[in-house]
Structures are given as structure tokens and as C-alpha cells.
Structure 1
């Protein structure tokens, strides 16, 4: 919601950037425990059951959001989603994708996963922006708070209905796979995975890439406060970034089959570092719409290609298939730590230095992490020769 409708979201819920960041932080703190707890569950229970329960319970949270709760209740709601979208959902999704990719290619499997999710997100975001604009007066800037609140409630209802639809589709379409690998991993097995240097390097790659992904939340607000677009136009700018996701992720997956996923990740960090540096430099100002759009396009290519590849390199890191869930738990605890600190950090920077300066500081942080990610991905590539051939379990 805030990624596309951040200016409207802040007004309707009556929260500051820092308060919204605090809700994100609650989600992140809960998610850290949920990653470790959900990993072994994914190695033990069928993905079909866990994903269906996760999506249904997530949709129920949307009904709470429709009531436009107080900032404290909103933070609790984000904590609830930390359980439903992580403990029950994330590791089973990654394991199911990795098993599916055994038949052809890990890079292509994860590229198609990220691209498919991205395509649906882009379509839904576009529909939401059209619906939101249709529910408001011709001049969205003059719409009353009550009118914007009612419009946003319809958007939340649509998203909840889509999530329920996804749960039904998972239950009907995903086979209930039962393999010998679905057994409880021993502590020694988990410790062996945690001791692998490649796991820690991959975790660093995910962390640095995820900082860039979290900064996408600032695109629409940047467009509104720096470029000078109105709230509907700013939302469209945020949606433009989302449309890059399916093409970047799927293309990266297919290219990685030829060039190698570790090598592709290095190139993606170069793109992310360059794009975020331009946004941080202050070179883009009011009225420079096309310069801004081109910059977020190239930055988004780097971000979404990374998301399509950073779990595909588990095979390059020689992580055993039967311990995928446990490995995903550790990778995610470290890699998704920005869920804890990026929201409050962005909120503080944007509130403390209003206007262009705050946005420049946000993308300075992204540039720094992109450089760290470039170093980590280079070391990973040196240690793990690329191999995207199917491996036996």
C-alpha cells in the first residue's frame, strides 16, 4: 500500500513517515524470529497447506486495515503479518521453487517466481491506481480526507480479495508433495549449514539487495515532494517501477543460465549503485520528470533482477536440498534485517530533512549498501564457480 499510495496513506492513517517506519520495524522484529521458526517447518510440512493458511490469514488482516486503525493498532497489525507472511509462507515458497527448479534451472525457476509475482503486483497496482483515480474528483488534490479514506478502503478490500483468491488457487493447483526430505533436521545438520561461508556471503548479498528494494517505497514520495507531481501522478511513478519487476527478474533468470547467477548479481549491484547514486546526488530536481523516470527504471532493473537471483545461488553455494528450509531461515534473518531498520531510518531522514535533502540521504544509504553488496557478490563468485545444472537430492 505505502509503496504506491504513500502520500495518501500518510494522510488517511494520520501517521508520520517515522510512525509508519515504526510499524515496518515491528513487522521486521517479528519476522526475524519467524524466519528461524518457519525454516524447519518448511522442511517438515507440505507447502500446499502452509501457503494456503498463510494467505488466508494475511487477507483477514486486510479487513482490520479497512477500519483505518490507530498508529499503535497498525503496528500490531504489521506484527501479525510478520507471522502470517513469514513463519507460514516464506520458507515453503522458496523450498517449493527450488524443488521445481531441479527439473531445469535454479536461475530460471527463481526468475520466473519473482517475475510472476512482479507481473501480478504491477497489474494489481495499475488497477488500484485507476480505481483510486476514478473514485476521486477530477482534481485529486482537492479531494476531502473522507473521500480519500473511502477510496483507500476500496483498494484495501480489493487487495484482501486477491489474497484470498491466491489461497484458493494454491489449494487447488499446487500438488501435495511428500518426499523423504520432509523430516526434521537435526541440530548438527543445521549447525553444518550455518557454518558454511557461502551461506554468510549469500546472506550479505540478500541484505544489501533488500536495502535497495525497501528504498522503492520512497519513489512515489520522491516524485511528489521533489519532482512536483500530484498524488495520483506520484502513484503512477511508483507503479512504473513495479512494471520493471517481471521483465527484469525473468530476463535475469534466463541470462544467468548462460552467464552464471553469481556473475549476473555482480552486474545488478553495479546498476543499483549507479542509479541510487544519481538519486542521492541531487542532480534530479523539480520538473525533471523523464530524467527521474529513466533513473528509477535502471535502478529498478538492478533491484528486481537481484530479487530474481539471490536465492538461485543456493546451488552455487552447495547448500543441501534437504536443509533448504533451515538455510532459508538463516539467510532471511540476516538478509531481511532491513525490515527492522530501513523503515525507521527512512522515516527519520525524510522527517528530519524535509524535501529533496531527506531523499538524497535515503539514497546515499542505498548507494553505500550497494557497494558492500558488490564486494560480497564478487567474493561469493570467486569462491563458488557457477553451475546451474540440476543436482540430485
Structure 2
């Protein structure tokens, strides 16, 4: 990091935590409309006339547009200032929310989800990660990203609960569903306005001759630099493996239900803890362990892979079916949540090594877009793969295969993270 960059970070220190809080607030809100099914699945079917297939198709459109869009994002995320990209995207998401509140037809609904994917996953999320990285230095990256995850989890709970409260207060009818959508839209737009006010502009791109560089040219150069960078590929593949394991956490719910006979009333509670509770705990713990204990997010993730291998291997040796017949579901819940917590500490910081491998700050947008594309790629195949194992091999056999595959990913992860750590050491020697 140059002395000039260090001076700029130090100068921004008094208000960087305010900016960080606003960015975190926006991060917990930005995807609430695209995940409206989590809150309003049944009302959407009843009042919008959507079938299970149609809602699933909208989610598929979202995923397809996200994947294609992130390829373009490698180029566009460094062209426009992060202030406008983040703020404008959030306001745009709010506008789409108002459109959805009109209860458009099926094809209008598909179009809305396609636009939400562009605004949320392409022009917002990588730029948010870029902004978070630029707020700190190498020594604080783990905590920055860790607290981002924790803060998003807190906002997730508050906003989702508030939207449901609006829905109930308005009578749980069609008007109430519109009210819930409008509430989410307004809150998202408020976050966008706050970002437009408080998030700083990007630094000017200056060439070796001291003259300002054309942003389009700089962005194209940054895109090519990112695609050719072994370091960015290493960070991305490291996160990719973490995410493959993370996708497997979803199947702890049917595991507890079918093998441990988890009571129906406890399924919802377990899901909340698994989705939000672990995010709030894993974020700060992962950040602290990365910055203070292991002194490196990459090293923390490698330790996490090793712990995952050992923990899941021991877990597979437990006589689950016998314990399930005795009604000892609490034991199963504690074991799976503990494993999930380990994965969440890794997930919280898998973007943090960008600073450790000295990715130039001026191409952070391209780097984060490329990393997002690769890291979240398991969404396109992991759930289908795990689900297929469970369908083809019913009972405990299927779950053993799923858990064994998760161990396999962790073994691959140890190799990838070791390679990444070697790259980091190489940069440290050359610094």
C-alpha cells in the first residue's frame, strides 16, 4: 500500500465507521425484495396468483441474470463512482419494489426479478465489497468483513420482522402484501439516499505521467488485469470451496427432521438460528480470529478447513439413527450448529485476502466482481448435486454421502488455501 493511500485512510478514519455502518445497514436491506419469498411465499401465491413453478422460475431468472451480469460487472464496477453505483442501485431496487407492489402479471414479475438481479448482484454487491475494502487496510480487513456479516444479520432480522409486522397490522390481505412490499421499497430507497450522502467518491485514476486516466480505459485495463491475476483467482477459488461447504449446511434441516425426528415446532427455530444467529456470531468471530489470532484471513480459512475435516469425520462416526430413535435431537442440533458456526467464520472473511495478496486498490471493483462470480458459482450446481444424492440414496446413506462430499471439499480447500498463503508470503517478501 502506498504512503499516499495510507494517508487517505488515516484522514478518513474519523468518519469511516459511520460510512461502514451505513454500508452495513444497506447490505442488510438490499436483498430483502429479491428474497421476498422468505417472508411472503404463501401470500404471493394467494394474492398475486403465482404458482410454485412461477416463483421458482423467477428465482432461476435471477440466478441466470446474476451469473451473466457479474461477467460484465468485472468491467463496469470501476467505471462509475461507488457513491453513485451503491446509492443508485438501492434506489433502483426500491423503484422495482413499487412496481412489484402493483401485482404485475407473470412476465412482468420475471422482468422485475431480472432487474433486481442486475441492481443487487451486479451493480451493488461487488461495489459494496469494494467500498468495504477501501475503508480499511490489511490489518483490519478481517474485522471489516466480519462485522459486515454480523451487521447484515442484525438488519436482516429487524427488517424482515418489521415487514411481517406491517403485513399483520394491515390485515394479512392483498392490501397488506402491497404494504409489506412498499415498506421494503421505502427502507431500501432510504438506505440508497444515505449512501449517496455519506459514501465518498472514488479516487481519481492518475497515470504515471500525473494526468487523469480515462475511466473506461482504466476499467478495461483493470478487468484484464483481474482476469490475468493468479492472486485474484486464488482468493476466488478459496472462497468457492468455502461456499460449496456452506451450501451443504442447508441439508442439516432435513437431516434433523428425518433422522433425529426434529419436532415441527423446532424446525423453524433451528432455521432462524442457522440462517441469522450463526451469521451474527460467525462474522465478528471470523474477523477477530483472522486479524488478531491468525494474523491472516487466508490462514484462518485454512485452519477452518482442517477443523471442518476433523469435525465432520467425527460427526460421521456418531450412531445418528440410534440416537434419533431415542429422541436425542438436541445433540444433533448442537453438533450441526457448531459445524455451521465454523463455516460461517470462514464465509465472513473469504473476500478479505484481497488485501493480503496486494490487489491494486484501483481495480478493486473488477476484482470483487470476478471473485463474486466464482465464489457464488456453487449456487448453480451445489444444491442440485446434494439434493440428488438425498433423492437417490434415501435415509442416512444419502446424508453420509452429502457429509462426505463436504469433507472432500474441505480437503480441496486446504490445498487451495495453502497455495494462497504461499502467494501472500511471496508478496510480503517483495514488499
Residue 15 of structure 1: aligned partner: 52
1:240 matched to 2:273: yes
How many Å apart are 1:265 and its aligned residue?
0.7
Q: Is the 8 A contact 1:28 1:338 kept in 2?
A: no
Which residue, 358, 368, 379 being the options, matches 1:318? Answer: 358
Identify the match of residue 168 of structure 1 among 193, 196, 201. Answer: 193
**More displaced, 378-387 or 242-251?**
378-387
Gaps of 5+ in 1: 136-145
- Within-5 A mapping of 1:68-83: 77-83=112-118
**Which residue matches 2:232?**
199
Match of 1:87 among 122, 136, 157: 122
Please show how residues 54-69 of structure 1 align to structure 2 within 5 Å: 54-62=89-97
Question: Residue 293 of structure 1 corresponds to which residue in structure 2?
Answer: 333
**Which residue does the alignment assign to 1:111?**
146
CA contact (8 A) 1:129 1:236 kept: no
Separation of aligned partners in 1, 2:403 and 2:41: 19
- Superposed CA offset, 1:259-293 (max 9, x none): 12111011222344456664898837474432233
What is the alpha-carbon distance in structure 2 between the residues aligned to residue 363 and residue 30 of structure 1? 30
1-structure distance, mates of 2:122, 2:317: 35
Query: In the alignment, what sits opposite 2:420?
Result: 380
Report whether the alignment pairs 1:368 with 2:408: yes
Of structures 1 and 2, the one scoring higher in RCO (CA 8 A, sep 6+) is 1
* Structure showing greater Rg: 2
- Residue 356 of structure 2 aligns to a residue whose secondary structure is coil
Give the paired residue count.
376
| CA deviation after TM superposition for structure 1 residue 205, in Å | 1.0
Equivalences for residues 1-393 of structure 1 within 5 A? 1=35, 14-15=51-52, 23-62=58-97, 77-102=112-137, 105-124=140-159, 159-180=184-205, 183-184=215-216, 185=218, 187=220, 189-218=222-251, 220=253, 227-229=260-262, 233-241=266-274, 242-258=276-292, 259=294, 260-273=296-309, 278=315, 283=320, 285=324, 287-346=327-386, 348=388, 362-385=402-425
1:140 match = none
What is aligned with 2:4?
none
> If the length of structure 1 is used for normalisation, what is the TM-score?
0.76
1:337, 1:28 → 2: CA distance? 10
- Give the equivalent residue in structure 1 for 2:19: none
Aligned CA RMSD, in angstroms, stands at 4.3
